[in-house]
Amino acid sequence: MKVDEFITFLGTDNQKKTSEFYQNGLGLELYKDQGLCKIFHITKSKIGFCSHMPVIFKEKSPILTLIVKNVDKTYNRLISKGIEIPNPPKINSKYNIYHFFFKDPNGYTLEIQKFLD
């Protein structure tokens, strides 16, 4: 089986606020608006938020990780857009990554990271 793309669908209680966060805050491109679901393009993968699905999370699970080349630049851009990020980027030697975490409007945990190897 050859898989060409991948979409993860998550629930949202506020489609408008979620769309504004991912489009205007993170700068993701809207791939498809299906009414109940809005799908955003992330390289060859996609993420969709659906108003007919429940918001389900516990502490950090799930974690939506976005891999970037410049973690500090991304951090500064998000801060300048008013996105609340509790802690600045740091090195995690256990996983050999440089990263930071923050929450989306639904409470899902996002991680911006770069592999250091």
Average pLDDT value for residue range 66-89: 96
Q: For all residues of the chain together, what is the average pLDDT?
A: 92
pTM: 0.85
Q: Evaluate whether 10 touches 105 at the Cβ level (below 8 Å).
A: no
Q: Is the predicted pLDDT of residue 95 greater than 70, yes or no?
A: yes
Q: Is the predicted pLDDT of residue 1 greater than 70, yes or no?
A: no
Average pLDDT value for residue range 101-107: 95
Q: Is the predicted pLDDT of residue 21 greater than 80, yes or no?
A: yes
Q: Does domain 6-115 have CATH number 3.10.180.10?
A: yes
Average pLDDT value for residue range 15-19: 96
